[in-house]
Amino acid sequence: MLKAVNLRDKLRFRPSPPQVMTFGFILLILVGAQLLSRPISFTNATSISYLDALFMSASATCVTGLTVLNTGTHFSTFGQVVIILLAQIGGLGFMTMATLFALLFRKRISFRERLVLQESMNYGSTEGIVRMIRKVLLYALVIELSGAILLSGYFMLEMPVGQSIYFGIFHSISFFNNAGFDLFSQFPERAGSLIHYVEDPFVNIVSMLLIFFGGIGFIVISELVTYPKNRKFSLHSKVVLSVTGVLTAFGAIVIFALELSNPHTLQPLSAIGKFLGALFQSVTARSAGLSTVDPSMLREVTQFFLILLMFIGAGPGSTGGGIRVTTFAILIGAIIAMMRGKDDVVLFRYRIAKQQIHQAIMFTMIAFSIICGATMLLSITETGSFLAILFEATSAYCTVGMSAGLTSHLSEIGKVIIILLMFVGRLGPVTLAFALNTRSKKELYRFPEGKITIG
């Protein structure tokens, strides 16, 4: 009897939190692809292959925004709603949405579910995770609702009331979740994305605020809300806010300087348009994927600079991607410490643990290796400049969604590569590796220390 119980326990599959996340995202993408491939999801004039539907579903679920089909013209209202719902679930995390329904029906959250939530939210421990999820849902609702009201009211000046409300809700969700989808291509006289609003202060400011709050992470948002009462930030929030601010300002200055004389981007604009154009590209390049100027018209040096911003990405536990601003801060801190001959990496008078420094190096090297490998493969399968291919690969892996014009012309193999890049980039290669590794063995010995020459 005891042997039978042991055998049953061994045969019972208990997925780990990374496995739950991985299988959950795969299931969500497949369900989305099935819905988007149905005739109800596209307009009468078009039909969609399953691969294109899978691509769009993966892009929405991974909150990337790269598209092989035009969201505003190829998809019906039903298809557009499916896309934005996938972006909402993918941005907040499917476990967060599942917790919402559990809380609504007063269902108890098990310890295993708390572990999955901790993994999905990049939270430090399981203690207080359900309370944190409640805050996440509340903050997301308030921010998205505020954005929807502001945008809807503004769009009423140029479109019917019903359409303006729909546009306001759709784009508020898309911008906050850093998804990068838009519907403005429904207007034949307008260019895609937010190019029509390049000199519009209201749309620019509201959009950048939504992108900013979505990109800093819910832990930081929570501390911003409680700051007037507590008057303090954690080290995490200090690093995220300071690095985000520096990168945004520095990025805007560099883009402004590089594109000021470009007749296809900033040169024809007014003074306020030049400022807004440079600032918006700096904000959106690290997470959102929207644009107020055509990325394919940017100078090559600017495109390469945007690749660097995309690679750095947004904050941990946010709707953005990249190696994360905290990883970037630790790497810069490590470089400075080494140059000064210091043993410790110190940020805001706090010493960073050696393990976190090793993790930062690991995340960066894995991301760099994956992007390089994907770029090499795409260079074989696709026709386009090397920079455009690198731009697209970085945008996909870092779940940014900016495109230099290559995505809409991808071959079938190229689409599969980009889908895999978006999926791995959203989950994280380390999470995926843990999901595939069913056994973890602790080594009982250490090799003798050796020395090699460096530099």
What digits encode the pLDDT tens for the residues 130-148?
A: 677 777 788 888 999 999 9
> Is pLDDT of 435 > 60?
no
H or E element, residue 346: strand 346-347
Q: Residue 172 — pLDDT band, cuts 50, 70, 90?
A: very high
Selected residue with higher pLDDT from 31 and 107: 31
Where does the pLDDT of residue 218 fall: very low under 50, low under 70, confident under 90, or very high at 90 and above? confident
Of all residues in the chain, what percent carry a pLDDT higher than 90?
50
Please tell me the predicted confidence (pLDDT) of residue 47. 75
Mean pLDDT value across residues 420-436: 74
Mean pLDDT of the chain: 85
Supply the DSSP string of 180-247, one letter for each residue. Answer: ----GGGSTTS-STTGGGTT-HHHHHHHHHHHHHHHH-HHHHHHHHHHHHH----HHHHHHHHHHHHH
In the prediction, which pLDDT does 255 show?
A: 96
- Does 279 score more than 90 pLDDT? yes
Share of the chain above pLDDT 70, in %: 83
pLDDT for residue 84 is more than 50: yes
The beta strand positions in 405-445, using DSSP E, are: none
Reported confidence tier of residue 21, pLDDT bands at 50, 70, 90: confident
pTM: 0.88
Question: Would you place residue 412 in the very low, low, confident or very high pLDDT band (cuts 50, 70, 90)?
Answer: very high
**Mean pLDDT confidence for 380-387:** 91
Axis-axis angle for helices 271-285, 201-216 (nearest 10): 20
Report whether 95 contacts 455 (CB < 8 A): no
Q: Please answer whether residues 181 and 60 qualify as being in contact, where contact means their C-beta atoms are separated by less than 8 angstroms.
A: yes
Reported as a single tens digit per residue, the pLDDT across 236-260 is 899 999 999 999 999 999 999 999 9
Does the pLDDT value for residue 206 go beyond 70?
yes
Statement: residue 106 has pLDDT above 80: no
Q: pLDDT band for position 11 (50/70/90)?
A: very low
pLDDT (tens digit per residue) in 108-137 = 655 555 555 555 555 555 556 667 777 778
Using alpha carbons, select from 57, 11, 76 the residue that is nearest to residue 3.
11
Give pLDDT, residue 217: 84
Token digits for 232? 């303090």
Give tens-digit pLDDT for 312-352.
Answer: 998 887 878 889 999 999 999 999 999 998 888 999 989 99
Integer Cα distance of 54 and 145 in angstroms: 29
pLDDT in tens, 40-49: 998 876 678 8
pLDDT at 426 over 90: no
Return the pLDDT at 2. Answer: 46
